[in-house]
C-alpha cells in the first residue's frame, strides 16, 4: 500500500475517527484505525469499539492499493505534529508503516487490515434526512438527564423517536426527565431507538464537526441521514458515517411521568432564577444539593442551610397569584434544565410539595423538564 495525501486531509480524516478506537480493549486490533484505499483518489478511515463505529474518507493520490490497521492514537499524534505539506504513506511487507513529510520520517508497526472487524452497514436502507440544527437542539435540551450508571442501560441513553411529523428525544435518570420535540417536514420515516450515552456523545461530535466545516455565508441547510437497521442506528453526513449499537432495553413509559396538569404556574426570569439558585446552592449540602422554594403571590423565596457551612436566602419577584406552596429540589437539577433553555422567561409548574415540578419555556410547548422533589 502506498499513497500521498495532504496533511490537512489526513488529519481531518483521523480527527473524525480516531477517538472511537478502544485503547483499553482486550482485543489489540480495536486500538487501531483501519486505513484502506478506494479507487485511485480516496483513502478511507474506520474505527470501532464494537459498540460504536465511525468511517470517513479523504482525497488522496493512491500509488498502490491496500489496507492496514495502525495504532490510532499514535498515528493521530504523529500527523497532527507534522509540518504542513504532502505526506507520503508506505506500508511494507511486514505491515510496518513509513510516514514521511519533508525531512520528517516515522516508522511504526501496523497490523493486517483483514484482521479489522467489519463495521455495521445500513445496506440499502433509506436514510431519513433531519436538519442538523434540529438534531443539535434535541440533544442540547436532553443530554444532561441521561443516567451515568452503566448498570442501568435502559436509562443510560436517549430515546430518539420520529412519527412522520415530529421528532423527539427523551432522557431520564430516575430523578429527572427531559423531553424535547420538534415538528419536521412531512415524509420523515417512523423510528424509535434507544441510543446509548456513548453514541449520543459521538453524535454531538459529528454535529460539532459539521458546524465547524460550514463556511461563512453558506446558508444552505445541513442535514443528517438517519436509519435503524438490525439493532444499529446509523447517522450519515458528507461522507462520515456513525454506527451505534442500540440498547436492547425498554425505556420507561415517559408519558406517565410527565404531569398533565399542575395547580400552580409561576412565570420567572430564567437568568435571575439561575443566578439566585447558583448563589444559594453555595451553602447547600454537598450530598443533596437541596434548596427550598417558598412561593406566594408575586414572590419566590429561595433558601438553603447547612450546619457545617451556613445558610443563605434570596427573594425574587415572579408572576404568580395562586395558593402558596413550599417545595425542595436539587439545585443542580434545576440549573441543568435552565441552562438548556435559550428563552428568557420560563414557567415553573407545581402542584404540591411531594409532586414533581415541571419547567418549560413560557411560550414554547416543545420542551418539558420534570424534576422530582426532595424533602428538606
Half-sphere exposure of residue 195: CA atoms within 13 angstroms, side-chain side: 31
> pLDDT at position 331, please?
96
> pLDDT at position 205, please?
92
Burial 202-212 (b: 16+ CB within 10 A, else e): bbebbbebbee
Check: CB of residue 287 under 8 Å from CB of residue 252.
no
Q: At what angle do helices 197-213 and 132-140 cross, to 10 degrees?
A: 140
Residue with the three cell numbers 500527523: 79
Note if the pTM is more than 0.85. Answer: yes
> pLDDT at position 163, please?
87
Domains and CATH numbers, the chain: 2-115 (3.10.150.10), 128-254 (3.10.150.10), 258-371 (3.10.150.10)
Helix (H, G, I), strand (E, B) or coil at 29: helix
Instruction: Write the pLDDT tens digit of every residue in 300-328.
Output: 999 999 888 899 999 999 999 999 999 99
> pLDDT at position 126, please?
87
Question: What string of pLDDT tens digits covers the 376 residues of the chain?
Answer: 999 999 999 999 999 999 999 888 889 999 999 999 999 999 999 999 999 999 999 999 999 999 999 999 999 999 999 999 999 999 999 999 999 999 999 999 999 999 999 999 999 988 889 999 999 999 999 999 999 998 999 999 999 999 888 999 999 999 999 999 999 876 667 889 999 999 999 999 999 988 877 655 567 778 999 999 999 999 999 889 999 999 999 999 999 999 988 999 999 999 999 999 999 999 998 787 899 999 999 999 999 998 888 999 999 999 999 999 999 999 999 999 999 999 899 999 999 999 999 999 998 889 999 999 998 7
- Could you tell me which of 78, 44, 71, 68 has the C-alpha nearest to residue 58? 44
345-350 sheet: strands from edge to edge: 190-196, 157-163, 166-172, 176-183, 364-371, 357-361, 345-350, 264-269
How far is CA 308 from its chain centroid? 37
CA distance 50 to 21: 9
CA distance 229 to 55: 17
* DSSP state letters, 284-304: S-TTT-EEEEEEETTEEEEEE
Amino acid at each position: 500500500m502506498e499513497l500521498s495525501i495532504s496533511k490537512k486531509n489526513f488529519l481531518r480524516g483521523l480527527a473524525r475517527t480516531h477517538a472511537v478506537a478502544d485503547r483499553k480493549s482486550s482485543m489489540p486490533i480495536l486500538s487501531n484505525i483501519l486505513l484502506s484505499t478506494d479507487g485511485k483518489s480516496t483513502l478511507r478511515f474506520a474505527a470501532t469499539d464494537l459498540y460504536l463505529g465511525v468511517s470517513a474518507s479523504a482525497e488522496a493520490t493512491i500509488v498502490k492499493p491496500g489496507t492496514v490497521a495502525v495504532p490510532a492514537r499514535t498515528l493521530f499524534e504523529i500527523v497532527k505534529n507534522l509540518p504542513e505539506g504532502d505526506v507520503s504513506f508506505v506500508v511494507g511487507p511486514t505491515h510496518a508503516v513509513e510516514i514521511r513529510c519533508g525531512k520528517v520520517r516515522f516508522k511504526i508497526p501496523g497490523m493486517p487490515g483483514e484482521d479489522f472487524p467489519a463495521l455495521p452497514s445500513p445496506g440499502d436502507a433509506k436514510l431519513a434526512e433531519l436538519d442538523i440544527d434540529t438534531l443539535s437542539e434535541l440533544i442540547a435540551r436532553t443530554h444532561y438527564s441521561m443516567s451515568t450508571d452503566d448498570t442501568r442501560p435502559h436509562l443510560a441513553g436517549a430515546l430518539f423517536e420520529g412519527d412522520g411529523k415530529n421528532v423527539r428525544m427523551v432522557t431520564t435518570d430516575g430523578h429527572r426527565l427531559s423531553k424535547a420535540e420538534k415538528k419536521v417536514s412531512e415524509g420523515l420515516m417512523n423510528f424509535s431507538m434507544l441510543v446509548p450515552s456513548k453514541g449520543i456523545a459521538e453524535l454531538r461530535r459529528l454535529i460539532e464537526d459539521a458546524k465547524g466545516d460550514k463556511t461563512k455565508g453558506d446558508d444552505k441547510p445541513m442535514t443528517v441521514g438517519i436509519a435503524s437497521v438490525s439493532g444499529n442506528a446509523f447517522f450519515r453526513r458528507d461522507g462520515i458515517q456513525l454506527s451505534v449499537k442500540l440498547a436492547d432495553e425498554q425505556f420507561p413509559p415517559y408519558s406517565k411521568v410527565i404531569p398533565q396538569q399542575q395547580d400552580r404556574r409561576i412565570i420567572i426570569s430564567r437568568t435571575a432564577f439561575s443566578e439566585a439558585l447558583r448563589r444559594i446552592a453555595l451553602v447547600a449540602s454537598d450530598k443533596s444539593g437541596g434548596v427550598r422554594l417558598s412561593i406566594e403571590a408575586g414572590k419566590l423565596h429561595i433558601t438553603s442551610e447547612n450546619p457545617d457551612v451556613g445558610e443563605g436566602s434570596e427573594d425574587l419577584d415572579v408572576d404568580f397569584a395562586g395558593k402558596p406552596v413550599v417545595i425542595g429540589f436539587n439545585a443542580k437539577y434545576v440549573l441543568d434544565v435552565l441552562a438548556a433553555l435559550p428563552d428568557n422567561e420560563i414557567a415553573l409548574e407545581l402542584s404540591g410539595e411531594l409532586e414533581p415540578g415541571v419547567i418549560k419555556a413560557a411560550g414554547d410547548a416543545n420542551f418539558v423538564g420534570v424534576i422530582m422533589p426532595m424533602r428538606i
